[in-house]
Amino acid sequence: MLGARDPLPIRPRRILVAGVSGVGKTTLARRLSGILDIPHTEIDALFHGPDWTPRASFADDVRALIARDAWITEWQYSDARPLLAERADLLVWLDLPYLRVTLPQVVRRTVRRRWRREELWNGNLEGPLWAFFTDSEHIVRWSWSTRRTYAPRVAALRVEHPSLTIVRLRTPGDVEVWLGAVAAGERRRHDDPSPPTISRKDSHTTGMSGS
């Protein structure tokens, strides 16, 4: 597993961003998209239909996404994770300090979305703040209850896909250092282009199974 200052062995084209809810996966994915000129698809937008109803086309949409030559998305949803991992050539794990960084972030984000009535996916809005006390799947409670799930999940992934490059970022500073290195690598590539590195897994799977 690589850290923030370790060079990438390949130029990634199919990238997953992993981490607990509120850690900043989508923000990082969008920044990577801008640096690498690779389209980012927010997987929540594929999953959630109107009124927070799961979309029937979610599985097909994930298959269509991973069939592309290049993409960035979040590593979420048990039915999608195996298929996403099968095609990815890089997974970035945001493993930031939960109490100091992630929990304040998810609380601020939830309050901001509700206060501003920001539209999320397919017309959905953040629910009322009092739902924190009544809904066990409220996003803040969900983030808290799942905060320790990613370490074993990533450990299993390393066994299942030993050739998958995994980068673990432990602090906001790590995120900035790593993104800076990726951006510097892209500038060098544009200044002195070389033949592209062939990524792992030339073909993609066609089935989906849950976990």
Say if residues 22 and 109 touch (Cβ distance below 8 Å).
yes
198 occurs within a structural domain: no
The enclosing domain of 52 has a CATH number of: 3.40.50.300
Nearest CA-CA partner of 72 in 1, 8, 13: 13
202 occurs within a structural domain: no
Intervals of the chain under pLDDT 50: 198, 200, 202-211
Sign of CA pseudo-dihedral 105, 106, 111, 113: positive
The terminus-to-terminus CA distance of the chain in angstroms comes to: 23
pLDDT of residue 137: 81
2 occurs within a structural domain: no
127 occurs within a structural domain: yes
pLDDT of residue 193: 61
3 occurs within a structural domain: no
Say if residues 146 and 20 touch (Cβ distance below 8 Å).
yes
> Which residue range(s) make up the domain with 39?
14-191
137 occurs within a structural domain: yes
pLDDT of residue 204: 44
Say if residues 174 and 19 touch (Cβ distance below 8 Å).
no
133 occurs within a structural domain: yes
Q: Rounded to whole angstroms, how far apart are CA atoms 142 and 131?
A: 12
50 occurs within a structural domain: yes
pLDDT of residue 177: 98
Q: How many domains does the chain have?
A: 1
pLDDT of residue 201: 53
